[in-house]
Amino acid sequence: MPNFVNRDITYGQAIREGLDNAMDRDPNVIVIGEGVPDPKAIFNTTAGLREKFGAQRVFDMPLSENGMTGICIGAALSGMRPVMIHQRIDFALLAMDQLVNNAAKWHYMFNGKISVPMVVRVIVGRGWGQGPQHSQSLQAMFAQVPGLKVVMPTTAYDAKGMLIAAIEDNNPVMFIEHRWLHQIKDNVPEEYYRVPIGLAKVMHEGDAVTVAAFSYMAVESLIAAKALMSCMGISIEVLDMRSVSPLDVASVLTSVIKTGRLIVADTAFHSGSIAGELISQVAEKSFDALKTNPVRITSPNHPTPTSHFMTEHYYPDPRTIVDTIVEMLEVDRNLPSYQKMCAMVRRDGPHDTPNRGFTGPF
C-alpha cells in the first residue's frame, strides 16, 4: 500500500503523474496523440512530458486515428507500451477497425502467442455545448468487444493507479476519463502504485438501495447519498464501478443481497448501455434478491444537443438520483425533509459546467 500523506492533487494532475511515473519506470512506454506536446497538452495531462522524456518518446500525431492505432498496435507487438490519447472519445470511432479487429483480437486469434499491451486514453464530456459529436459516453460500445478492457476511474487516486495498471497490462485498455473529473482533487501518493482493473469500490455504505455508478455519476451519487442520509436518514450504498470491462458484478451482487434494490447510474445513452448489462447480470444471477424493479439512470436515447437551453434536463444529476430512490422506497414527498433534501442537492450555478469557477471552452 502506498503511504498516505495529505497530498491533494487534481485528477488531471494525477493522470500526468501516472504517465510520468510509468515512463520513468519503463523505457518502452511512449505517449502519442493529437496535441500531446502542444501548449494545451491534452488539458495539461501531458504537460512537460516531452521536455522530460524527449521527442523520441512523446509524440504529436497525424490526424490519422485508425492508422495510428494500427501503428501503435504494431509497436506494441514489438515490445513497446504505447499510450495513445484522443481528446474526445468520438475521435476513437475512426479507429474502430483497428481497435476491434486487431487490438482486441490479436492475442486470441493467434492462440495467445503474442499480445497487444497498449492504452488508449479517451475523454468523454458533458455540458458547455459539447453537442452531438464531442460528448458521447460510448463505454458500452467498447465493452462489448471481448479482448478490450475498459476502465472509467472516478477519483484522482484511482486515475493514477489505474492508468499505471493499464500501462502494465498486457492487453489493450480503453481508459475513459470524464472531463468533469479532471478538476476534482483527492489524496494521491507521489510514488508509483497500481489500482487493479476490474474491481468496484464501495464509496458510501448503506443498506436501503444499491447505486452502482460509473465515472462522473459516482460523484453525483455520492452527493445524493450524503443528502439522503443527512435529510431523510436513508442510507444508500454507492459503488464506484471503476471498470466497465471486466465488470465487477460480484461486488454489485454482494451489495444487492444486502439492500434488495438496485439503481445503475451511467453517463451513457439509455439503451444498450452498460447499465442495462449490469442489471441483466444481477437479474440472471440473483433475481430473488431484488425487492423492487431495478432502474437505469442514464442520458436519454437521443443525441446530445448543443444549446444549453436544450440540455437543461439532458444529464441526470443528484436530484434525479434522490428522486429515483424516493420513488423506489415510496417515501412521502410532502415531508419537509424531502424539500430540504431537494434544496441541498440543487446545483449551485449553471447546469452545463462542473462548477461556478469554470469558464469554457473545454
- Binding mask of the shown chain, residues 89 to 108, with x at each position contacting other proteins by CB under 8 A: --------xx--xx---xxx
Contact call for residue 260 and other proteins (CB under 8 A): no
Which is nearer to other proteins, 72 or 212 (by Cβ)? 72
Contact call for residue 149 and other proteins (CB under 8 A): yes
Which is nearer to other proteins, 71 or 344 (by Cβ)? 71
User: What is the closest distance, in whole angstroms, from the C-beta atom of residue 148 to other proteins in the complex?
Assistant: 9
Contact call for residue 66 and other proteins (CB under 8 A): yes
Q: How far is CA 185 from CA 215, 219, 227, in A?
A: 14, 12, 21
User: What is the closest distance, in whole angstroms, from the C-beta atom of residue 71 to other proteins in the complex?
Assistant: 4
Which is nearer to other proteins, 18 or 70 (by Cβ)? 70
Site size with other proteins, rule: CB under 8 A: 39
- What are the helix (H) ranges across 38-155? 41-44, 49-53, 65-77, 89-92, 96, 106-109, 139-143
**Residues in 41-60 at the binding interface with other proteins, rule: CB under 8 A:** 56
Which is nearer to other proteins, 103 or 217 (by Cβ)? 103
Q: 9: which strand partners? A: 186
Q: How far is CA 257 from CA 157, 230, 252, in A?
A: 29, 24, 9
User: What is the closest distance, in whole angstroms, from the C-beta atom of residue 172 to other proteins in the complex?
Assistant: 10
For 170, the grid coordinates are 498486457
Which is nearer to other proteins, 117 or 354 (by Cβ)? 117
User: Quick one: how far is CA 91 from the chain centroid?
Assistant: 17
Q: Are 294 and 314 in contact (CB under 8 A)?
A: no
Contact call for residue 81 and other proteins (CB under 8 A): no
How far apart, in whole angstroms, are the C-alpha atoms of residue 323 and residue 345? 11
DSSP state of 99: I
173, exposed or middle or buried, with CB in 10 Å at 0-12, 13-18, 19+?
Answer: buried
Task: Give the residue numbers marked as catalytic.
Answer: 65, 134
Contact call for residue 357 and other proteins (CB under 8 A): no
Residues in contact with other proteins by CB under 8 A are: 30, 56, 62, 64, 66-80, 97-98, 101-102, 106-115, 117, 146-147, 149, 170-171
